[in-house]
Amino acid sequence: MRYFVICSITVTLFFCILEIECCPRIVSRAQWGARKPRSVSRILPVRYVVIHHTVTGFCNTQASCSSQIRSIQRYHMDSRGWSDIGYNFLVGGDGNIYEGRGWNVEGAHARGLNRNGIGISFIGNFQARSAPANMMAAAKKLIQCGLRKVYIMRNYQLKGHRDVNPTSCPGNKLYRQMNNLR
DSSP letters of 140-153? HHHHHHHHHTTSEE
Please report whether residue 11 resides in a domain.
no
Query: Can you point out the beta strands (E) in the chain?
Result: 26-27, 46-53, 89-91, 97-99, 117-122, 152-160
Look up the domain containing 33 and give its range: 25-181
| pLDDT for res 37 | 97
The CB-side HSE value for 95 (13 A sphere, CA atoms) comes to 5
Please report whether residue 51 resides in a domain.
yes
Please report whether residue 17 resides in a domain.
no
The conformation of residue 127, written as its DSSP 8-state character, comes to S
Alpha-carbon dihedral sign for residues 138, 139, 144, 149: positive
Please report whether residue 109 resides in a domain.
yes
Q: What percent of the chain lies above the pLDDT cut of 70?
A: 88
- pLDDT at residue 18 greater than cutoff 60: no
Residue 21: its H or E element: helix 2-22
Please report whether residue 165 resides in a domain.
yes
Q: Rounded to an integer, what distance in angstroms lies between the CA atom of residue 101 and that of residue 83?
A: 10
Count of domains for the chain? 1
Please report whether residue 94 resides in a domain.
yes
Buried b (16+ CB within 10 A) or exposed e, 46-55: bebbbbbbbb
pTM score, two decimals?
A: 0.88
Please report whether residue 2 resides in a domain.
no
Q: Looking at residue 121, which CATH number applies to its domain?
A: 3.40.80.10
Q: What percent of the chain lies above the pLDDT cut of 90?
A: 87
Please report whether residue 15 resides in a domain.
no
Give the model's confidence band at 20: pLDDT under 50 very low, under 70 low, under 90 confident, else very high.
Answer: low
